Amino acid sequence: MKLLAKTNRIYLAFSLVIYLFAGLAFYQVVRFLIYKEVESRLRVERLDFENYIQIHRAWSDSTYFIENKIDVVPAGSSVQKAEMFIDTLIRNRYDNELMPFRQLTFYTTIQGKMHRVAIRKSLIQSYQLIEVITVTMAACLGLLLLGTFWFQGKLSGRLWHPFYETLSRIKRFNLASATPLQLDKPEINEFRELNEVLRKMGDKMQQDYRSLKEFTENASHEIQTPLALINAKVEQLIQSEKLTETQTRWIEDIYQASRRMARLNQGLLLLAKIENQQFTHNQTIDLAALLAEKLDDMEEVLHHKRLSVQSQNNIPFEVQLPMPLAESLVMNLVNNAIKHNYPDGRLELVSDGNQLWLGNTGSPLTTNPERLFERFKKEGSGPDSVGLGLAIIKEICDNYGLRIRYEEHNGWHRFCISRKPEEA
């Protein structure tokens, strides 16, 4: 959800609650004022009634007011004499409908006897007035809420435009490009400071990227050259006939160590290049077909180790990868499946278009499966392994929208490659 949409929803919900309480409070205030006015008129009617009694010394039912109705009935001497206001309903004699009235009840003496007097005033006009005021108020508050919400959306869109412009430029920013991060200087201080910080960060990241790229390129060239020279000289020494058995064993150890160092250097440099996204030329590659091709190329090795290959559902599994990384991923998967297999074992390649499986028979796993893809974590202690093959596979998958997982079942070790679900 976008920031503006989230902000507007919260503002709308808060405004609705505030307007609801404001409307209820306004309704209660209007009702209180109208009732107060009606009660004031009823008190005036009481004064007129008492004045009438003082003048005429009696009360006649013939005295009748259309709007105000007065009932006078005898009462006992022990009744309370305080006045009281209540709401009541009286049936209209014309249309036989119940009509709302406000009633003032008090006690007074007429001809030496205590009487209960009830003066009533119609509330129809007051209720109509309350309804009109309520409807008008609700309409005004609704229009005000809609207008405020519309204005808030327009205003927020303009205020946050520099932020979204900055976000758009950051998305298009490429570390490998020589073009620095160009950001505007908006009028709002916070956005201007944010852009300045991001620009400095972008410059520093580009500088670090260029330094690291230069280091990996230099290391790839400068370290491999002396290692190749060492291997060549050691191979010449091994072929020499003047070495003793002990010297030959030492030279072989040196040779194996230098070869392992060369593989280790290549693996670490490849991981650094993948992490820094130095491979930029993606292309559509069918990993299922590439895996089958690599297995065919390894036919002699498979025959030497007496391994059989089963292939099922050869549906293309197409991904977007640079070709060098695709070959590295496939080669590491195949080498791992062959290396950890036993003689007369089997390999299985399965592709359904959405997932790609490469499985091999082998001994039960002795290490934690969750740590298989960590660097320098390897099964066994063979001198040919540097513990980076599965880490390279994991790094390639993480950086190119793929997911890899390991499963072990009934003596089979399977690695599954699938596409990551697209983020919303």
Start-to-end Cα distance in the chain = 9
Cα separation of 292 and 288, whole Å? 6
Residue 424, pLDDT score: 36
Is the domain of 293 the same as that of 353? Answer: yes
With bands split at pLDDT 50, 70 and 90, how would you rate the model's confidence at 66?
Answer: very low
Instruction: State the average pLDDT for the chain.
Output: 80
pLDDT at 191 over 60: yes
Q: Which residues neighbour 148 within 8 Å (Cβ) at sequence distance 6 or greater?
A: 15
Residue 422, pLDDT score: 60
Q: List pLDDT tens digits, range 365-410.
A: 777 777 778 777 665 555 555 677 888 888 888 888 888 888 888 8
DSSP 57: S
Cβ neighbour number for residue 388 with a 10 Å cutoff: 21
Tell me the residue range of the domain where 54 lies.
3-151
Q: List pLDDT tens digits, range 109-157.
A: 888 788 888 888 888 877 788 888 888 888 888 888 788 778 877 777 7
Report the candidate in 375, 393, 386, 374 with the shortest Cα–Cα distance to residue 265.
386
Is the domain of 202 the same as that of 303? Answer: no
Give a yes or no: residue 394 inside a domain: yes
Number of domains the chain contains:
4
Domain boundary among 151, 172, 191: 151
Summarize the confidence of residues 245-256 as an average pLDDT. Answer: 80
Do the Cβ atoms of 406 and 414 come closer than 8 Å?
yes
Report the candidate in 378, 412, 374, 411 with the shortest Cα–Cα distance to residue 393.
374
Please give the share of the chain, as a percent, with pLDDT higher than 70: 90
Instruction: Please report how the helices 224-238 and 189-222 are oriented relative to each other, as an axis angle in degrees rounded to 10.
Output: 20
Report the candidate in 157, 119, 125, 145 with the shortest Cα–Cα distance to residue 18.
145
Give a yes or no: residue 156 inside a domain: no
Is the domain of 390 the same as that of 316? Answer: yes
Is the domain of 7 the same as that of 147? Answer: yes
Residue 366, pLDDT score: 74
Is the domain of 179 the same as that of 205? Answer: yes
Summarize the confidence of residues 155-164 as an average pLDDT. Answer: 80
